Structure 1
């Protein structure tokens, strides 16, 4: 059977001559967020000379020794989830097939929301074997009694163990956001979160982060909601309710993201959107829901991404609304 070969996107050699590479390599690269290794190239008949041509032409970028990014899309233009998963694959491929993805990178592969966009690639080797960090890849020591599972055939730390490793290294917004999301979407239970906190004691960085565990709330349905809640807490207007049940004019029960009680019995509701977690149809549905809620005994404040990521923007609007309708804050 004839070897199927086709050019990968935007690949060309010197003197304008197009370099054709195996279709199988494009499939592998797509599954690994654009990354391929020297060994994978060799297995498919792509010589080091041809790899070097791709690098010299600018079609590929070197990520680490023996690891290349074949995706011509600039890193900053890729979807945040792809960038996070790329860090996880970089760690896995750099440390070899027996490696285990850990920390925030493991959370990214599990699909937990709330992580920073830029992640440090992290993995470890089982059995206490030593690996060395290089080229921006962090080789961690294997945690004693760490439980390993698989995601799409890739060895990763469980969500609970990944949180043990990640929380001491995350800032407050991202740490609380990932824990909120892990609870809300059933990745872990409250008992498991307590175990995460216990196992994290003594780890570097955790001394300043114990308070994060007290701020976790499983009712937050997205990281932007977590950001909004923390912003309001920090500025003296903590919400009275999360996921507020309200009935519209037709009697259908709907929910608002955050709520504050008014003295006259009405409620102020803050609805939080983010295009990273809601697609276009979901945003349209949210807007329709907001209109329905505005028809009942609720004052609806609608916040988009710019407000979510501007400290004080949401809490300031909420404070002004409460003062207006309550005659001042009590």
Structure 2
């Protein structure tokens, strides 16, 4: 015997308020008994996410990040918050390492909660001012999240994430002091603190950040980000990702998605040809993600163009 439409309606009414996740108690209250739950799971319509919690959503792609988090949080007390890379993904921060599917949470140091497969539990104090709610999900604030990333990620990833938070205005320039305060007294704080001045809100992508760091590490003068060049004939401005305007040298960061489509390739050619007219003598380099793995591919031509051999 299948589950009735009336029961399904009650279940979905509850689930819609909590990212399409329901608990065993809520299913019983809606009239869905254990046999009905098992049938829905076997048919693939409902997905078990944690003990006593199921995803019952309509999305054919399956449970979202929020749903997976909600399933865990429904079984936790109020002192647990989403943290680290997981909080950063909820906030939309870019530049993070590839998502391995693990969920990160912060719990008080005296908590007995432990990590297990797919869940990383960090025992650390998160004061009230370092917490926030995002559509009902408790997580660390942008400043605390960035402080955690500065401690946990590689230099390139951490600076990229901080650039992204600043560029998206999740953080204001004044919030750098708050980030530094969240680092105080924590293991690895001196190294993490040194990364904060490297961040720049003008960086529009993690690839731009990586190229900029390579230039700085290679001893090149700091580039101008988003070098603006006005086109009086067309009535608009072009922007070059990084550049040295006084030396007529620019760099474009060619990410895979924005520049791989045929229309984008045509636009790039038009743009480059127009820039050659607007800025006579301009030397414009284009670098990709693959180039960042061998910094000399970037540094050698730039040193020559900037006459820094």
- TM-score normalised according to structure 1 size: 0.69
Equivalent pairs, count: 298
Query: Out of 13, 17, 37, which is 1:51 matched to?
Result: 37
Secondary structure in 2 matching 1:155 = strand
> CA 1:260–1:185 in 2, change beyond 3 Å: closer, same or farther?
same
1:273 maps to 2:252 = no
1:138 maps to 2:138 = no
Query: Out of 161, 167, 182, which is 2:150 matched to?
Result: 167
1:200 aligned residue? 183
1:25 aligned residue? 12
Secondary structure in 1 matching 2:157 = helix
1:201-216 map, 5 Å: 201-216=184-199
1:114 aligned residue? 95
How far the C-alpha of 1:118 sits from its partner, in A, is 3.2
> CA 1:168–1:125 in 2, change beyond 3 Å: closer, same or farther?
closer
> CA 1:55–1:219 in 2, change beyond 3 Å: closer, same or farther?
same
> CA 1:48–1:301 in 2, change beyond 3 Å: closer, same or farther?
farther
1:223 maps to 2:202 = no
CA distance in 2, matches of 1:284, 1:4: 54
Q: Deviations over 1:126-168 (max 9, x none)?
A: 8x88351344333444625332322123332221122233332
- TM-score normalised according to structure 2 size: 0.73
**Mean Cα deviation higher: 53-62 or 153-162:** 53-62
1:16 aligned residue? none
Query: Out of 48, 51, 54, which is 1:65 matched to?
Result: 51
CA distance in 1, matches of 2:71, 2:220: 42
CA distance in 2, matches of 1:46, 1:266: 70
**Mean Cα deviation higher: 281-290 or 44-53:** 281-290
* Contact 2:243-2:250 at 8 Å conserved across structures: yes
> CA 1:281–1:218 in 2, change beyond 3 Å: closer, same or farther?
farther
How far the C-alpha of 1:222 sits from its partner, in A, is 2.2
CA distance in 1, matches of 2:212, 2:8: 50
CA distance in 2, matches of 1:154, 1:161: 16
1:296 aligned residue? 278
CA distance in 2, matches of 1:58, 1:232: 51
2:229 aligned residue? 246
**Mean Cα deviation higher: 217-226 or 235-244:** 235-244
Q: Mind listing any 5+ residue stretches in structure 2 that lack a counterpart? A: none
